Amino acid sequence: MNYCSACGAPVTKKVPEGDNLPRFVCEICRAIHYHNPKIVAGCIPEWGGEILLCRRAIEPKSGLWTFPAGFMEIGESIEQAAARETLEEAQAQVERISLFAVLSLPHIGQAYLVFRGPMSSPNFGAGEESLEAQLFSLSAVPWDQIAFPVVKDVLRRYVDDVTRGEFQVHVASLPDRLC
Amino acid sequence: MNYCSACGAPVTKKVPEGDNLPRFVCEICRAIHYHNPKIVAGCIPEWGGEILLCRRAIEPKSGLWTFPAGFMEIGESIEQAAARETLEEAQAQVERISLFAVLSLPHIGQAYLVFRGPMSSPNFGAGEESLEAQLFSLSAVPWDQIAFPVVKDVLRRYVDDVTRGEFQVHVASLPDRLC
């Protein structure tokens, strides 16, 4: 950030009065510009004991696999965001999805909120940002071709829970080197 | 947003190529400025069957009660943010906190992630943004002096769970009129 988005004057970085963190501040119109973490809403779509993954058609990590996930938008709930991303990236509809994981990535300012739930039908396909979508049995997850460490972490927790026979809501934070 | 925060030129609002929502776009440097929902991290601190609330010293809703909560910062996990807000607003330390509620407020672009957990000691006090902090038994919660509908909603769920004898992770969305 170089300029005030309200008045166009150059901003300076300093700790505002009553605050304890440096922010971008406009000395002209006095606006304080906060930058906060973003929510990535995701979903593990389930069908007949398999899960639906999609292969990314865009950078970063084009060509690698992930569950559908993307930035939550203003005007939608987190669960709506997860379902929307599933429709956009894997052309699949999910119903009655449940919260599965809340994973913070402090060093890149992201929080993943990942749901899981049954697909409404076996219909799916590659959305615009995907090269392909595919159902995987849990013994066939392409572990060495997963796009991001956070995705691998969530999928491992999912496989563990299925193996154990009980889902829990996972809350964790990913270490710096995995963000 | 009126000006590009990268180059200072005026921005226009339009749907970027490959997108489906209007964004603030800079026609000069081509930057696309996304606005995403913010995470409010909160905590219900527990001590001896009572919960710790604080009375807001700042607007909006100065003078009314809430559990400690505030915007998550980049560089911290959600649970760290919840513990930090508890320390800042109620001068209390919490330990081993558990996720209790994930409440989306779509129309104001916020998502509340609220934890609950025991205080490390009975020490607490009014932080800079609080007029006072006080432990309340669940039969004495000041329902008609709660700062925000989302806070009241979470506290009702908390009392219900205690009454039922089992905590669950609540995932819900608050209707427009309550945001």
- What are chain A's domains? 1-35 (2.20.70.10), 38-178 (3.90.79.10)
Average pLDDT over residues B14-42: 94
Residue A175: band (very low, low, confident or very high) from pLDDT cuts 50, 70, 90: confident
What share of chain A has pLDDT > 70, as a percent?
A: 98
pLDDT tens digits for range B130-160: 999 999 999 999 999 999 999 999 999 999 9
Residue B139 CA to residue B155 CA, distance in Å, equals: 12
β-strand pairing of A38-47 with A69-71: antiparallel
Show which residues on chain B lie within 8 Å of chain A, measured between beta carbons: 1-8, 10-11, 18, 21, 24, 33-39, 71-80, 98-99, 102, 104, 106-107, 109, 111, 113, 128, 169, 171, 173
Cβ-defined contact of A74 to B7 (cutoff 8 Å): no
pLDDT tens digits for range B45-79: 999 999 999 999 999 999 999 999 999 999 999 99
Residue A130 CA to residue A119 CA, distance in Å, equals: 18
- CA A173 to chain B, closest CA, distance in angstroms equals 6
pLDDT tens digits for range B104-131: 999 999 999 999 999 999 999 999 999 9
Residue A24: band (very low, low, confident or very high) from pLDDT cuts 50, 70, 90: very high
Residue B178: band (very low, low, confident or very high) from pLDDT cuts 50, 70, 90: low
Q: Which pair of tokens denotes residue B80?
A: 């760290």
Beta strands in A21-127 (DSSP E): 23-26, 32-33, 38-47, 50-56, 65-66, 69-71, 98-105, 110-118
Supply the Cα-derived Rg of chain B in whole angstroms. 19
The ipTM is: 0.93
- pLDDT score, position A178: 66
Cβ-defined contact of A37 to B73 (cutoff 8 Å): yes
